[in-house]
Amino acid sequence: MFDLIKIWKHQGRQYIPDVLSVTLPSIHAGKPQIEAKSCKNNCKACKDICPSKAIDINPVNLDLGKCVFCGECETLCPEKKIAFTPDYKICSNDQSLLMIYEGEQREIKLNPDKIRNEIKRLFGHSLKLRLVSAGSCNGCELELNACGNVNFDMGRYGIEFLASPRHCDGVVVTGPIVENSVEALRITIEAVPHPKIFILNGVCAVSGGIFAESNAVNRSILDIYKPDLLVPGCPPHPLTFISGVLALTGRSA
């Protein structure tokens, strides 16, 4: 009993009552924000340093679907135009909504016109998912595993990962989708009963990330299976994934 009290005093309350109203710790980077400041002397330091070519200039803009959240642009910008905020609600189902523009103050949300009617109707109370690593470094898997721990407790919303795709409602993909994973991914998706949800988790899955131009990557399967949810991040924070799925299925915590 005394040991338990010591843990509570040292760590505070581990359980998060509401995953949609949490302040992201400063060590984690959330949605970037670009201030409307002038760049001096045709500076393009942010564009040059970006490892995934997520940044363009004139005006400065950032593709969140390509961003690896390394923070180099924030560090090297002489004018301090770019800053990563604590906002972890950065999921969308529309690639165009993942663009961050200079001087823009916009929340990233889902496009309601692209949410299929059966998603909220069938998966609004229970959602079982099968995870497929398509060339991931396992960073995304670690964070997805954390979604079910006592801290985030994704299972209280009926959202769980299962082993068999035949018992699932959808597939979550991590990694840039390398050639050797395409057939396994296709078989898994087809094994999930209709209707099904398809989620791309992490920058590698969303856009290919830093591996987008690699000859080992084959993303042609995305021409057949269209994602219902794009989860940016490298890797995405558990709160990002959970809040995105809750938004997709029409739920609040």
Indicate whether 252 pLDDT > 70: no
CA dihedral 208, 211, 212, 213 (to 10 degrees): -170
Are 93 and 176 part of one and the same domain?
A: no
Ramachandran category for residue 153: left, alpha or beta (phi over 0 → left; psi -120 to 50 → alpha): left
Q: Domain range spanning residue 209?
A: 112-248
Confidence grade of residue 11 (pLDDT, cut at 50, 70, 90): low
Contacts of 12 (CB under 8 A, 6+ apart): none
Task: Centre a 10 Å sphere on the Cβ of residue 131 and count the other Cβ atoms it contains.
Answer: 21
Are 53 and 129 part of one and the same domain?
A: no
Contacts of 8 (CB under 8 A, 6+ apart): none
Query: Quick one: average pLDDT of 199-225?
Result: 95
Residue 10 belongs to some domain of the structure: no
Sheet holding 170-174, edge to edge: 159-161, 127-133, 170-174, 197-201, 229-231
Alpha-carbon Rg of the chain, whole angstroms?
A: 19
Residue 191 belongs to some domain of the structure: yes
Are 88 and 212 part of one and the same domain?
A: no
Mean pLDDT for all residues in the chain: 91
Residue 69 belongs to some domain of the structure: yes
Indicate whether 41 pLDDT > 70: yes
Per the model's pLDDT, the better-predicted residue between 26 and 145 turns out to be 145
Are 124 and 199 part of one and the same domain?
A: yes
pTM assigned to the model: 0.91
Domain end point (choices 68, 101, 134): 101
Backbone angles phi, psi at 54, to 5 degrees: -85, -15
Residue 130 belongs to some domain of the structure: yes
Are 158 and 192 part of one and the same domain?
A: yes
Are 127 and 234 part of one and the same domain?
A: yes
Residues listed for the chain: 253
Write the single-letter amino acid at 1: M
Confidence grade of residue 218 (pLDDT, cut at 50, 70, 90): very high
**What burial letters (b/e) apply to 150-167, b meaning 16+ CB within 10 Å?**
eebbbeebebebeeebee
Residues in a beta bridge with 197: 170
Are 91 and 177 part of one and the same domain?
A: no
Write the single-letter amino acid at 198: F
Task: Find the CATH number of the domain harbouring 92.
Answer: 3.30.70.3270
Which pLDDT score is estimated for 13? 66
Cα–Cα distance measured from residue 192 to residue 182, given in angstroms and rounded to the nearest whole number: 16
Which pLDDT score is estimated for 152? 92
Residue 82 belongs to some domain of the structure: yes
Are 158 and 181 part of one and the same domain?
A: yes
Are 68 and 119 part of one and the same domain?
A: no
Are 189 and 75 part of one and the same domain?
A: no
- The answer to whether 169 and 118 have CB atoms below 8 angstroms apart is no
Residue 1 belongs to some domain of the structure: no
- The answer to whether 173 and 181 have CB atoms below 8 angstroms apart is no
Indicate whether 253 pLDDT > 60: no
Indicate whether 240 pLDDT > 90: yes
Count of the separate structural domains present in the chain: 2
Per the model's pLDDT, the better-predicted residue between 46 and 64 turns out to be 64
Cα–Cα distance measured from residue 143 to residue 140, given in angstroms and rounded to the nearest whole number: 5
Task: Find the CATH number of the domain harbouring 147.
Answer: 3.40.50.12280
Contacts of 62 (CB under 8 A, 6+ apart): 32, 34, 54, 55, 73, 82, 99, 100
